[in-house]
């Protein structure tokens, strides 16, 4: 087969797989919501229909024991968060690890869904079957926290966006300058954003001395209250080359002035 055709087939397959994965994430949330709303009204027979009972993992499951498990799950959910819940998709992932217990089983996806009432939030971890898009396993993580205010979170985000703006400005100035080996300067500006300051919606400010921020000096996450953060790196590379450019421009200006003064002096003498 022509190598170019092979590459195109691989790229197309990757794009289709990626689109399918993204599309499934919306179904994961709706399935989780449907299941929870069903058990909240104690319709356990209907709740079972949200599970991939034909999957190998679910084979030989005793339905009565399974229903008892759903009752226990409902009691735990209602006790901690009540019956009026909001749902937010956080993330889905497939994990491959040398440790079998840490890997996602084949043809399954691990999903985190945030649940919340008016005051508190928690997180559900669900394992979905990729074929039927039904639930294989679900449990409540040990997270029960007050809903944080996001005012300071978004305010910090405004200042975080100033870092990439500054770094892009410095790169443009380097490009316009007479400096040599500009690509090395670009790398320094993009890579040397250290140490890092993080503002988490849940935990507030934190400082990491050895964390590099390579995306022009910042990173961002917005995946439920527990995983929402802004991280900025101090733009040491940008600050250094800002100073060097100012120094270089000042030197060039002084040379130009001295040259002009010397030319005027020669003309006056003549």
> Which of left, alpha, beta for 93 (phi over 0: left; psi -120 to 50: alpha)?
beta
Higher pLDDT, 40 or 98: 40
Does the structure show a pLDDT above 60 at 11?
no
This prediction has a pTM of 0.74
Closest listed residue to residue 225, CA positions, set 140, 114, 77:
114
Residues 101 and 201 in one domain: no
Q: Could you tell me the residue range of the domain that residue 35 belongs to?
A: 3-146
Give the pLDDT confidence score for residue 105 in this predicted structure: 84
Residues 252 and 206 in one domain: yes
Contacts of range 64-73, beta carbons closer than 8 Å, 24 or more positions apart: 70/39, 70/44, 71/44, 73/39, 73/138, 73/139, 73/140
Residues 162 and 264 in one domain: yes
Does the structure show a pLDDT above 50 at 3?
no
Residues 107 and 49 in one domain: yes
Give CA–CA dist 220/112, Å, rounded: 18
Residues 164 and 207 in one domain: yes
Phi, psi of 75 (to 5 degrees): -60, -40
Give CA–CA dist 18/181, Å, rounded: 38
Residues 59 and 27 in one domain: yes
Of the three residues 146, 161, 194, the one that is the final residue of a domain is 146
Residues 11 and 141 in one domain: yes
pLDDT tens for each residue of 35-93: 999 999 999 999 999 999 988 888 788 889 999 999 999 999 999 999 999 999 998 88
Task: Look at the chain and report how many structural domains it folds into.
Answer: 2
Two tokens, residue 237: 């590379």
In the structure, what pLDDT confidence band is assigned to residue 19 with cuts at 50, 70 and 90? Answer: very low
Give the pLDDT confidence score for residue 170 in this predicted structure: 93
pLDDT tens for each residue of 221-265: 888 898 899 999 999 999 999 998 888 765 555 555 455 444 555
Q: What is the CATH number of the domain that holds 54?
A: 3.10.450
Residues 99 and 229 in one domain: no
Average pLDDT score, the chain: 83
Of the three residues 146, 171, 204, the one that is the final residue of a domain is 146
Of the three residues 131, 146, 161, the one that is the final residue of a domain is 146
- Tokens 């356990």 locate to 44
Residues 177 and 254 in one domain: yes
Give CA–CA dist 199/220, Å, rounded: 10
Give the pLDDT confidence score for residue 169 in this predicted structure: 94
Residues 112 and 162 in one domain: no
What totals of helices (H) and strands (E) does the chain contain, helices first?
7, 9
User: Hey, which bits of 86-226 come out as E strands?
Assistant: 86-93, 108-116, 120-129, 135-140, 145-146, 196-200, 204-208, 218-223
Cα 91 to Cα 17, 136, 221, 240, 247: the distances in Å are: 17, 17, 11, 38, 47
pLDDT tens for each residue of 110-166: 999 999 999 999 999 999 998 899 999 999 998 999 999 999 999 999 999 999 999
Closest listed residue to residue 192, CA positions, set 177, 222, 171, 172:
171
Give the pLDDT confidence score for residue 7 in this predicted structure: 39
What's the rounded mean pLDDT across residues 181-199? 90
């Amino acid at each position: 087969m022509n190598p170019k055709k092979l590459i195109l087939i691989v790229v197309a397959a990757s794009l289709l797989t990626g689109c399918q994965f993204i599309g499934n994430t919306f179904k994961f949330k709706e399935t989780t919501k449907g299941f929870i709303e069903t058990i909240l009204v104690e319709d356990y027979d209907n709740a079972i229909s949200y599970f991939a009972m034909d999957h190998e993992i679910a084979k030989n499951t005793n339905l009565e024991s399974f229903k008892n498990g759903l009752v226990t799950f409902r009691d735990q959910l209602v006790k901690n968060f009540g019956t009026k819940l909001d749902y937010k998709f956080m993330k889905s992932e497939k994990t491959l690890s040398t440790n079998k217990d840490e890997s996602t089983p084949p043809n399954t996806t691990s999903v985190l869904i945030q649940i919340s009432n008016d005051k508190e939030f928690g997180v559900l971890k669900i394992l979905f079957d990729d074929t039927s898009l039904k639930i294989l396993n679900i449990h409540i993580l040990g997270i029960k926290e007050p809903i944080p205010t996001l005012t300071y979170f978004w305010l910090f985000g405004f200042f975080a966006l100033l870092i990439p703006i500054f770094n892009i400005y410095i790169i443009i100035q380097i490009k316009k300058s007479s400096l040599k080996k500009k690509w090395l300067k670009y790398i320094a500006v993009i890579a040397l954003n250290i140490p890092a300051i993080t503002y988490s919606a849940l935990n507030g400010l934190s400082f990491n001395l050895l964390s590099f921020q390579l995306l022009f000096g910042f990173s961002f996450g917005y995946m439920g209250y527990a995983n929402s953060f802004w991280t900025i790196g101090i733009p040491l590379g940008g600050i250094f080359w800002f100073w060097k450019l100012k120094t270089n421009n000042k030197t060039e200006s002084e040379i130009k002035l001295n040259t002009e003064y010397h030319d005027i002096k020669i003309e006056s003498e003549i």
